[in-house]
Amino acid sequence: MATKIKVGIVGGAGYTGGELIRILLNHPATEISFVHSKSNAGNFLYEVHKDLQGDTDLKFASAINQKIDVLFLCVGHGDAVKFLSENKIDAAIKIIDLSQDFRLGESVNKRKFVYGLPELNKAQIKKAKNIANPGCFATAIQLGLLPLAKAGLLNEIHATGITGSTGAGQGLSETSHFSWRANNIQAYKTLSHQHLKEIGQSMLQLNPSGNVDLNFIPWRGDFTRGIFISSQIKCSLELNEVSALYKKYYAAHPFIVLSDEPIFLKQVVNTNKCFIQLEKIGRNLVIHSAIDNLLKGASGQAVQNMNLMFGLEETTGLKLKANYF
């Protein structure tokens, strides 16, 4: 691409904003036009995101520049719809929203959003003007279940998942302090996590006649980033038959890695990959899936969606090595 994609970012001071900036600064087809932040306007990006020192001299902007091709919204839940209601963004500008405001088919100012899970909606994403980026837990769970949903094999699902402290955002709370997190775990939002609705929506999209009952218990972990999910269902197929379903479904999806060996978080942290492992004992099938909550679960997937929207190779700027050591 001769002319680079001009990018604007709103809400660039948080974890997802920082990761998005890091990716786009090294992306061969993008140019960051502005990074907006009310509280940090005029400050260098590296004054907030210390890992960017030496990489950029950009400063946080106080105004929105509309001479861009795509706008990323890295704002809190409820703030994206508020921002788009209060600011008239040119209709030619594509929008990728990382909040949960438009994941269930909501719209604003006649803007309709496509649910941005590439492994589910790649064809629609390529033609979309606006993307609702999936949630982190929703991404990890769905990637573990999509082939089974398409095959009509899902009924009752029992899933547990653990996430790092960055999943709670940068705002301090009792459970995000080091002294609370260290050597500690806790279940929270048992059977009531906000991502359940978007997961159910996707399962029905693949199998409209299906009646999926997902029971999910999330956990807070004593590490900074990553999500590990274990989902269990009853399944009469042999393990090799299930594996064949997964290989066929994910054949054209470059960020999915199917493993015969036990998977672990260090394989995916700092990458846009999802590792999946299947285990079966008797009729019990367990699907393990692992992602980086800030990349495949947020900013990396957002850039993956941008690549598809602008006709780029899906993996452009996202061939990242895991922080294995």
Q: Minimal CA–CA distance to 38: which of 12, 20, 19? A: 12
- Every domain of the chain with CATH number 3.40.50.720 lies at 5-133+298-309
User: Does the structural domain 136-291 have CATH classification 3.30.360.10?
Assistant: yes
CATH label, 5-133+298-309, candidates 3.40.50.300, 3.40.1160.10, 3.40.50.720, 3.20.20.80:
3.40.50.720
- Every domain of the chain with CATH number 3.30.360.10 lies at 136-291
Distance of CA 117 to the CA centre of its chain: 8
Check residue 228 and give its pLDDT. Answer: 98
Distance of CA 222 to the CA centre of its chain: 21
Report the half-sphere exposure of 118 (CA within 13 A, side-chain side). Answer: 27
Q: What is the pLDDT of residues 200-228, one digit of tens each?
A: 999 999 988 777 899 999 999 999 999 99
Check residue 38 and give its pLDDT. Answer: 86
Q: ∠206-228-245 over CA atoms, to 5°?
A: 35
The secondary structure of 137-166, three-state, reads HHHHHHHHHHHHHHCCCCCEEEEEEEECHH
What residue type is 5 in one-letter code?
I
Mean pLDDT of 269-285: 98
- The partner residues of 157 in beta bridges, in order of sequence, read 214
Tell me which long-range contacts 87-94 makes (C-beta under 8 A, separation of at least 24).
89/64, 90/66, 93/8, 93/66, 93/68, 93/69, 94/69, 94/70, 94/128, 94/129, 94/130, 94/131, 94/306, 94/309
Work out the number of other CB atoms within 10 angstroms of the CB of residue 288.
19
Q: What is the pLDDT of residues 6-21, one digit of tens each?
A: 999 999 999 999 999 9
Q: What is the pLDDT of residues 148-177, one digit of tens each?
A: 999 999 999 999 999 999 876 666 677 877
Q: What is the pLDDT of residues 35-65, one digit of tens each?
A: 999 889 999 999 999 999 999 999 999 999 9
Q: What is the pLDDT of residues 103-143, one digit of tens each?
A: 999 999 999 999 999 999 999 999 999 999 999 999 999 99
Q: Minimal CA–CA distance to 293: which of 203, 232, 220, 233? A: 220
Check residue 171 and give its pLDDT. Answer: 63
> How far apart, in Å, do the first and last CA atoms of the chain sit?
35
Query: Is 235 a catalytic site residue?
Result: no
CA 147 to CA 154: how far, in whole Å?
10
pLDDT, mean over the chain: 95
Check residue 325 and give its pLDDT. Answer: 86
Q: ∠290-294-296 over CA atoms, to 5°?
A: 50
Q: ∠161-116-127 over CA atoms, to 5°?
A: 165
User: Is the Cα dihedral 86, 92, 97, 101 positive or negative?
Assistant: positive
In terms of Cβ atoms closer than 10 Å to its own Cβ (0-12, 13-18, 19+), residue 283 is exposed
CA 201 to CA 214: how far, in whole Å?
12
Q: pLDDT above 70 covers what percent of the chain?
A: 98
Check residue 168 and give its pLDDT. Answer: 65
Q: Minimal CA–CA distance to 32: which of 248, 251, 317? A: 317
